[in-house]
Amino acid sequence: MAFEYKLTEIPNDFHGDPRLTNSDLIPVPVKSRTWTWWSFAALWMGIVHNVFVFAWIGGLMSVMGMSVWEALSVVTVGNIITTILIGLNGRVGSRHGIPFAVWSRSAFGVFGANIPAVTRGFVAIGWFSVQSYLGSTAINVLFEVTIPSWKELGSTSVLGAPANLMIAMIVYWTINIFVVKKGMDAVRRFESWAGPMVFIVLAFLLLWVIKGAGGLGTVLYTPSKFKSINEFILVGFMPMIALHISANWATMVLNIPDITRFARSNKGQFWGTMIGMPLATLVFNFMSAVIVSCGAVMFGKTLWNPADILLEINNPLLSVCGAILLAIATISVNIPANIVSPAYDLSNLLPKIFNFKRGAIFSIMLSFMFMPWIFMQNPQVFYGIINNVGALIGPATGIIMADFFIIRKQKLDVLEMFKVNGAYRYVKGFSPIALGVLFLSTVTVFVGEFVPQVEWLYKYAWFVGLALGFVFYIAAVYVFIKLKGKIPPEYEERGTIGVENTDDE
């Protein structure tokens, strides 16, 4: 029988099963939710204003042959789609105070949730390694400009990387560990001032390259390599939007509750996202596109990494200041986007061993083993990895959104999520329906990689995976209910907990 209750705090005598519970997984108390709308606006300024986005738009122009306006249309549309999805999924965190790893228990079961959580966490650690590699190049620039003999270390190779870059990477990874050891509130404080830093760096670079290129001139009107609008839409625009989401935002769409659980209100997280993300995207990507275009005119080659441009400008003061700000800004992106989630995922997988800090430190150390300095050298390998991210993340996103918004109508019995034999037990803690749909959807997407006749399945991996997971899950649940002849307990409408302010829904 359906029931409903609303609480502003979890009961003082609440004790979840130790296999599912620790202090970092239970709902965040209302009094501990300190993130305001500005916290989220600054967060998105930091995440959008990052080195990878700069490199991405440079790749659209140099590798795909897009004009400035075509490249901007791809990132703008892609960000509009993901902004809406992030705003919707962020409601789970602000309403219930739980991380993604706990939220996924409603669809996948209290133990089955570890499968999408670990998958998403593994992807995030991979992205952390990529961002850290790019951030380390800024540290390398700083040392190269300030230490005369630093460049000579580059002649020696360590694990396939120049020795000077390897040292810079070790320094950079260590700084990240220091930040996460201070906890999530320290991340919030760091983000509020560090987030906009890369914007400052790009502002200086923008002015410098425009002057060096003799003004904008024809830079913004460089012709596209596409012969027609139809060719651009089919070959460039649509596939690159899917790849853009996989590369930049697919993981954040899924795990945004990890951050919004600290929001003072749902309105705060929603409007902070709606204001910070689209505006920052528009400004930053325009600046990046102009810098890449002007840089190609000045240097005779396309430079994707702002750190490389800092070296080319031959201005020691600007190079040093820019490298410091760039390194700080990249940290402000990397930790909330790519370390918060695996930290909670590890805590969810092994709550007796990992808490947030231990999980974060372990994730940072593990990311070094990905050796991003190797695969970042080959664009084709890198783009293939991005598509695989969409294929893995898309189906899980579709399933969990279908479960929350359609099946459960945004109502969760959060206390039951911490009980092994509670409402979300399914079959020994695993949901056969959710896991079956996840497997079927993922396999269907990967078929497109090996069967040319349906290559569009893989080309639009994230979109296809999300749609298949969403539709298949709803259909499977309703067929299951129909066969049972009644609503099974795990799909009954249940109550809510952790609602801070019902007027702010």
Which candidate, 414, 404, 401, 344, places its Cα nearest to that of 96?
Answer: 414
Which candidate, 317, 323, 369, 364, places its Cα nearest to that of 340?
Answer: 364
* Both tokens assigned to 328: 């700080």
Positive or negative CA dihedral for 151, 156, 162, 167?
Answer: negative
Give strand pairing partners of 158: 161
What is the distance between the alpha carbons of residues 490 and 478, in angstroms, rounded to a whole number? Answer: 13
What is the distance between the alpha carbons of residues 250 and 86, in angstroms, rounded to a whole number? Answer: 10
What is the distance between the alpha carbons of residues 57 and 284, in angstroms, rounded to a whole number? Answer: 10
pLDDT of the chain along its 505 residues, tens only? 344 445 556 666 667 788 888 877 888 888 888 888 888 887 787 677 667 777 777 778 777 788 888 888 998 898 889 899 998 999 999 888 898 989 999 999 999 998 988 888 888 888 888 888 888 888 888 888 888 888 888 888 888 888 999 999 999 899 888 878 776 566 666 656 655 666 677 777 788 778 777 766 555 666 788 888 888 888 888 888 888 888 777 888 888 998 899 898 888 898 899 888 888 788 888 888 887 777 777 777 767 667 777 777 777 777 787 777 777 777 777 777 788 778 888 887 888 888 888 888 999 999 898 888 887 666 566 666 666 777 888 999 999 999 999 998 888 888 889 999 888 999 999 999 999 999 999 999 989 888 888 888 888 888 899 999 999 999 999 999 888 877 777 777 666 655 544 445 4
How many C-alpha atoms does 242 have within 13 Å on its Cβ side? 27
Q: What is the DSSP string of 16-55?
A: --TTT--TTTSPPPGGG--B-HHHHHHHHHHHHSSHHHHH
* Both tokens assigned to 398: 């579709």
| Residue 295 contacts residue 129 (beta carbons within 8 Å) | no
What is the distance between the alpha carbons of residues 33 and 29, in angstroms, rounded to a whole number? Answer: 7
Which candidate, 253, 301, 303, places its Cα nearest to that of 277?
Answer: 253
Positive or negative CA dihedral for 445, 451, 454, 455?
Answer: positive
CATH topology of domain 30-372+390-504: Hydantoin permease (1.10.4160)
pLDDT at res. 1: 36
- Per-position b or e across 405-434, b if 16+ CB within 10 A of its CB: eebbeebbbbbbbbbeebbbbbeebbbebb
Classify 499 as helix, strand or coil.
coil
What is the distance between the alpha carbons of residues 212 and 57, in angstroms, rounded to a whole number? Answer: 21
pLDDT at res. 503: 40
- Compute the radius of gyration of the chain from its Cα atoms: 23
Give strand pairing partners of 183: none
pLDDT at res. 280: 79
CA-to-CA dists, residue 402 to 52, 416, 418, 472, 486, angstroms: 31, 20, 22, 9, 20
| Residue 53 contacts residue 282 (beta carbons within 8 Å) | no
Which candidate, 49, 46, 44, 41, places its Cα nearest to that of 288?
Answer: 49
What is the distance between the alpha carbons of residues 420 and 403, in angstroms, rounded to a whole number? Answer: 20
What is the distance between the alpha carbons of residues 124 and 100, in angstroms, rounded to a whole number? Answer: 13
What is the distance between the alpha carbons of residues 65 and 490, in angstroms, rounded to a whole number? Answer: 51
| Residue 6 contacts residue 499 (beta carbons within 8 Å) | yes
- Per-position b or e across 40-65, b if 16+ CB within 10 A of its CB: bbbbbbbbbbbbbbbbbbbbbbbebb
User: 63: which DSSP letter?
Assistant: T
Classify 157 as helix, strand or coil.
strand
CA-to-CA dists, residue 128 to 75, 87, 125, 135, angstroms: 21, 23, 5, 10
Domain chopping of the chain, boundaries: 30-372+390-504
pLDDT at res. 466: 93
Q: How many residues does the chain have?
A: 505
What is the distance between the alpha carbons of residues 176 and 149, in angstroms, rounded to a whole number? Answer: 26
pLDDT at res. 89: 92
